[in-house]
Structure 1
Amino acid sequence: MNEKLLKIINERQLVSAMNKTKWREVCEDLEKLHSSYICVRYKLITSDEIFGFSPVWWDQLFEYASAIEWLDFNPIVSEYRGRLISDKKTDRSAEILSILKRHSIKYSNQESYFRVWGYLNPGACPEFV
């Protein structure tokens, strides 16, 4: 881990909830599902910016793993079918949850999303499922 991240972790007194191995397992399994349409939003510890829901390249997301504060999965995948037909909605909850459970990754429910915590702030007590 680089010194910039260590400094932020120490200053904010963050506690790690995930490790690089767990992030790799999640990213690899989602890559195998060909789940490029699963949208995620995430926050890095290096910024206050929240990166909005969008599909990601899982191998590229893994590059940021040591800096991910949290990652939300939107289990509803929307596929564009044309201007005259509504988008096709597919619930991918079962697939996402099976990956999280297979690797014993704790998550919390945030609205209708599944949140995987990379780091916890002091006093933060998410209700893990």
Structure 2
Amino acid sequence: MIPNQNKMRVMETIAERNLISLMNDTKWRKLQDAVINTLRFPPPYQGKYLLDDLVYPEEFEKDVWYWGDWIEGIVPFYNVEWIRVRPRYLKHRGRLVSPEIIDITDDFVNILKELSIPYRLDHDTYYIYGYISDTSILT
């Protein structure tokens, strides 16, 4: 699909669903840069995009062993409905030893606060919305 057509479909979806924009390219870039340049690892996330019905990855209820692709995975920013970040991962230590949980939650939340990025905490995950219909659920 041609990028301009894709963006037009996104804008139509935003209008049809009466969504409010919470993030713009500048805020997404600042978040992306802070995550890549200041955290010990890029935390895994689940993404929901405006033109997709499914989230990716589909399973994200438990800690995972992989890192998030914060360089190319989130773009184009204008298409991100939300991302759900789990600022920790399971570090493999061997076949007979349980994985170690590496947790950077405090550092991640500090970035969100420093950049004034609204979020919603749900259990151990942080939702960051590009677009939302009800802002009362945010921190």
* 2:128 aligned partner, one-letter code: V
Q: Deviations over 1:5-33 (max 9, x none)?
A: 11111111211011111100111111113
Aligned to 1:42: 47
Percent sequence identity is 26
Q: Deviations over 1:73-116 (max 9, x none)?
A: 11222111111111010221111111111101111112221111
Gaps of 5+ in 2: 61-65
- Which residues of 2 match residues 1-129 of structure 1 at below 5 A? 2-32=7-37, 33-36=39-42, 38-52=43-57, 53=60, 55-121=67-133, 124-129=134-139
The count of corresponding residues between Structure 1 and Structure 2 is 126
**2:95 aligned counterpart, secondary structure:** coil
Q: Is the CA contact 2:82–2:128 (under 8 Å) kept in the aligned structure 1?
A: yes
Distance 2:113 2:125 in 1: 16
Distance 1:111 1:29 in 2: 23
User: Structure 1-normalised TM-score?
Assistant: 0.87
Q: Is the CA contact 1:16–1:120 (under 8 Å) kept in the aligned structure 2?
A: yes
* 2:55 aligned partner, one-letter code: I
Gaps of 5+ in 1: none
Change (3 A) 1:103 1:125: closer
